[in-house]
Copies of this chain bind each other. A is one copy, B any other.
Amino acid sequence: MYLSKLFIPLLKNNPSEAKIKSHQLMLRAGMIKQSSAGIYSWLPLGFKIMKKIEQIVREEQNKIGAQELLMPTIQSAEIWKESGRYEDYGDEMLRIKDRQGKEMLYGPTNEELITEIFRSSVKSYKSLPQLLYHIQWKFRDELRPRFGVMRCKEFFMKDAYSFDLSDDEAKKSYNKMFFAYLNTFKRLGLTAIPMAADTGPIGGDLSHEFIILAETGESKIYADKRIFDINIKKHTNEDISINSLRKKYDEYYAVTDDKFNKKDFDKQVKKENQLTTKGIEVGHIFYFGDKYSKPLNCLVDLSDGKKVNVKMGSYGIGVSRLVGAVIEAKFNNNLMKWPDSISPFDVALIPSINKNDKTSYDKALKIYNSLKQKNIDVLFDDTEEHLSAKFKKFDLIGIPYQIILGSKSDNDKFEFKEIEGKTEILSLEEIQNKLLIKRNLN
């Protein structure tokens, strides 16, 4: 892609309405544009990053055997009345009357609808366990939307639902999701800690929040440092292995504000291992048994002819929110570096272009075409701006690798730079090999 063609409205200065760094960067780098309070359009740069995150979330769901479907954004109020949540949900639910006066709503979550789909589709114990998920836009009518995509009204979310015959079976499904979440966040370049959490309006008796560390986070967290040393790579998809992984996490103290107790913290964690910091919630999982299957009458036949309410859990990841969360974790001193796995481009090509001398442009064009041929996704800065101005733009765009054609490059060697890393003088072939190796690691 030529930078001159890319639809990327960059801003020179921080917009005054943006109070946190993810909101600032997303506006300045032309990733999003507000269309009304708490509602954003995703411009090509931001969209591309969000799509890559979505795909990683999807792949990790598929790996544990979850099946993707898609529920609509607009739901009938009826099933919410069946579950009893229609009144409970309050003003954050966007309530709608259609042209015939029927009560509808824009789904803020999907426990009711998935239960309705399940109860009318599955009749026998033989079809269980079942893990279903979708990735769809949700709406919460926030009274004071703020912080860009971190607390907005229309947001993109993966929500999964598990269906089992017994509490014991259901815990296995819960643990599978626990495992998928750790792998998902790891692939996004994030260290996420699962923390025992309150269940809130979703209900139930078992719940974990997944929190990533960020100084600007809205949750205060208290943890035993050693929790960061757990190696998830040692664990496989098998129930036993996942179970032992969960036990490892349970061994270490890690809670947010609402579950914090100073006495317990001091008793369970040695002073030198105590970590108090801030974090951002990027995922939340719940086990709630028959909380929805009972009022919605979702039953399956057992082998002995009896009927039983299915045991359910729900599992959310904020996909659009993660774009902001990654920035909060990685954007420092006006310099962004996207993790390789979700970078909008594989590499930036930044030549110093002189109006009156085409040689540098022609050389860059040759490199560009060669990279394209190798399926390396490159953003080519074909503008005539000064190199220093170009670097400032790329500090915001955050592509982790740069090929620079400036004073240090001679005929067939070029400056290859990793953001916050070292700079080398390499041939095009060496650069291509490096990029292809990095891509294969993701």
Nearest B residue to A8, CB-CB: B121
- Provide the bound-state CA to CA distance between A75 and B106, in Å: 13
- Provide the bound-state CA to CA distance between A318 and B36, in Å: 26
Interface-located stretch among A93-101, A285-293, A351-359, A415-423: A93-101
- Provide the bound-state CA to CA distance between A116 and B127, in Å: 49
Q: Is the CB of A72 within 8 A of B141?
A: no
Q: Please tell me which one of the listed residues B76, B122, B141 contacts residue A99 in the complex, with CB atoms under 8 A apart.
A: B141
- Provide the bound-state CA to CA distance between A35 and B94, in Å: 18
Within 8 A of B (CB), among A1-56: 4-7, 9, 30, 33, 35-36, 39-44, 47-48, 50
Interface centre among A70, A91, A121, by most B CB within 10 Å?
A70
- Provide the bound-state CA to CA distance between A41 and B36, in Å: 28
How many A residues are at the interface, by size bracket? 35 or more
- Provide the bound-state CA to CA distance between A249 and B186, in Å: 53
Nearest B residue to A141, CB-CB: B99
Contacts A7-B130, A33-B120, A36-B76 given; indicate if A71 touches B41 (C-beta within 8 A). Answer: yes
Interface centre among A40, A69, A130, by most B CB within 10 Å?
A69
Tell me the dominant secondary structure on chain A's binding face.
Answer: mixed
Question: With a CB–CB cut-off of 8 A, which chain B residues contact A67?
Answer: 6-7, 44
Tell me if A425 counts as interface (CB < 8 A to partner B): no
- Provide the bound-state CA to CA distance between A48 and B74, in Å: 21
- Provide the bound-state CA to CA distance between A70 and B30, in Å: 13
Tell me if A117 counts as interface (CB < 8 A to partner B): yes
- Over the window 107-132 of chain A, the binary record of Cβ atoms lying under 8 Å from chain B Cβ atoms (1 yes, 0 no) is 00000010011001110001100101
Q: Is the CB of A73 within 8 A of B36?
A: no
Q: Is the CB of B47 within 8 A of A68?
A: yes
Least Cβ distance of A391 to chain B in Å? 22
Tell me if A139 counts as interface (CB < 8 A to partner B): yes
Tell me if A395 counts as interface (CB < 8 A to partner B): no
Within 8 A of B (CB), among A354-389: none
- Provide the bound-state CA to CA distance between A318 and B154, in Å: 23
Tell me if A436 counts as interface (CB < 8 A to partner B): no
Of the A-B pairs whose beta carbons lie under 8 Å apart in the complex, a sample of 20, sorted by A's number, is A4-B127, A7-B67, A7-B130, A9-B120, A30-B121, A33-B121, A35-B71, A35-B72, A35-B113, A35-B117, A36-B78, A41-B69, A41-B113, A42-B69, A44-B68, A73-B137, A91-B99, A92-B99, A94-B96, A99-B141
Given contacts A6-B67, A74-B154, A99-B141, 18 further A-B contacts (CB under 8 A): A4-B127, A7-B121, A33-B117, A33-B120, A35-B72, A35-B117, A36-B102, A36-B104, A39-B74, A41-B71, A42-B71, A43-B121, A44-B67, A72-B137, A74-B94, A74-B139, A91-B99, A99-B143
